[in-house]
């Protein structure tokens, strides 16, 4: 496996990780490099996650996942095969975690200082052209102790790495990829979370903001957050939809077919279809979003 050497190395710090409770696999990365998410992260549900960086050999992504998918090799064995076949392995840096949580990492001897990695159960942290090794150490500690789902823990690790020094050249882009079987939009693929900040002065903070929006638009409703669409709640929904121009019926507090169609039209326009219910219930998140839209409209009317 050979790839022409780039003029500049892909200086970055990243983490590959697995959630043992859900089986989710993912990669989070930050770099002083434009659109780092187009190069470093690779993952497939039920198979593994790979981060390839430094003078990145992007062939490590698809080839490594192919080898892992065959089911006979561990993360370390796949890594050994990848670097053995690469004549420029001394320039590469890579981290891999497989579907069983076995992790491995490699830092070529000619990666720019500071470069190195830490491997633990369910994760590997790696970085090059860093201020110091404190970055990967902070990432490892944080991933091991952080609460929340895999996306939360990966982003928390990035934040800790940046706070400990990060890329010595500065900041530019960040990316978060988490895969889950049928976890993508509509259940048609495994891209449960796929977010990129291609060029931003504070890429990790922006990535965190985008993760919040992702949860608003794409996460399924929690049962405890579903409210009956009846009485005062139904009346309020009708009033707001009427003010926003989606509902023309009577304000009577009954969740009838015209109300359902109006809510569905509004939810589709606002990209909230993943949270809309087929029965007479509404997600608290949707209701709060609807209320916020009313406030925004009223502020607009006051300013006009």
Question: In angstroms, what CA-CA distances link 259 with 223, 236, 256, 294, 296?
Answer: 22, 11, 5, 17, 22
What is this structure's pTM? 0.88
Q: Where are the beta strands (DSSP E) in 89-232?
A: 92-98, 103-107, 116-120, 123-127, 173-179, 191-197, 226-228
Rounded CA-CA distance 62/1 in Å is 12
Confidence of residue 9 (pLDDT cuts 50, 70, 90): low
Rounded CA-CA distance 33/127 in Å is 13
pLDDT score at 5: 46
Contacts with 44 (C-beta within 8 Å, 6 or more apart), sequence order: 25, 65, 68, 69, 179, 190
* CB distance 203 to 30 below 8 Å: yes
Which one-letter DSSP state was computed for residue 10? B
**pLDDT at 295 > cutoff 90:** yes
Rounded CA-CA distance 41/174 in Å is 10
Choice between 236 and 303, residue whose per-residue pLDDT is larger: 236
Domains of the chain, start order: 12-218 (3.60.20.10), 223-303 (1.10.101)
pLDDT score at 302: 64
Q: What is the mean pLDDT of residues 171-186?
A: 95
**pLDDT at 10 > cutoff 90:** no
Confidence of residue 220 (pLDDT cuts 50, 70, 90): confident
Q: What is the mean pLDDT of residues 258-274?
A: 95
* CB distance 36 to 12 below 8 Å: yes
pLDDT score at 304: 54
Q: What is the mean pLDDT of residues 270-292?
A: 95
Q: How far apart are the first and last CA of the chain?
A: 63
Tell me the helix, strand and coil percentages in the chain, rounded to 5: 40, 25, 40
**pLDDT at 13 > cutoff 90:** yes
Question: In angstroms, what CA-CA distances link 185 with 22, 272, 285, 290?
Answer: 18, 12, 18, 22
Q: What is the pLDDT of residues 114-155, one digit of tens each?
A: 999 999 999 999 999 999 999 999 999 999 999 999 999 999
Which of 30, 12, 25 has its CA nearest to residue 156?
A: 30
Residue in the block written with tokens 């405890």: 224
Q: Residue 255, exposed/middle/buried by CB under 10 A (0-12, 13-18, 19+)?
A: buried
């Amino acid at each position: 496996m050979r790839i022409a050497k780039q003029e500049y190395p892909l200086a970055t710090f990243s983490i590959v990780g697995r959630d043992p409770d859900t089986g989710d696999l993912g990669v989070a990365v930050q770099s002083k490099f434009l659109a780092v998410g187009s190069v470093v992260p690779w993952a497939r549900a039920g198979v593994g996650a790979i981060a390839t960086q430094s003078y990145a050999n992007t062939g490590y992504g698809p080839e490594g996942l192919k080898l892992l998918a065959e089911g006979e090799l561990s993360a370390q064995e796949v890594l050994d095969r990848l670097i053995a076949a690469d004549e420029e392995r001394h320039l590469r840096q890579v981290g891999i975690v497989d579907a069983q949580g076995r992790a491995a990492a490699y830092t070529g001897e000619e990666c720019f200082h500071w470069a190195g990695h830490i491997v633990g159960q369910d994760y590997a942290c790696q970085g090059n052209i860093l201020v110091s090794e404190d970055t990967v150490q902070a990432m490892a500690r944080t991933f091991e102790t952080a609460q929340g789902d895999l996306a939360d823990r990966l982003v928390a690790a990035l934040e800790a790495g940046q706070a400990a020094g990060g890329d010595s050249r500065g900041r530019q882009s960040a990316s978060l990829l988490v895969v889950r079987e049928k976890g993508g939009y509509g259940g048609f693929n495994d891209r449960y979370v796929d977010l990129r900040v291609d060029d931003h002065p504070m890429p990790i903070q922006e990535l965190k903001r985008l993760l919040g929006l992702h949860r608003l638009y794409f996460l399924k409703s929690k049962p405890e957050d579903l409210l009956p669409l009846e009485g005062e709640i139904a009346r309020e929904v009708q009033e707001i939809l009427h003010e926003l121009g989606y509902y023309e019926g009577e304000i009577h507090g009954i969740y009838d077919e015209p109300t359902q169609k109006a809510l569905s039209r509004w939810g589709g326009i606002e990209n909230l279809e993943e949270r809309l219910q087929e029965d007479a219930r509404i997600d608290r998140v949707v209701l709060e979003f609807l209320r916020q839209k009313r406030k925004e409209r009223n502020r607009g009317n006051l300013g006009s």
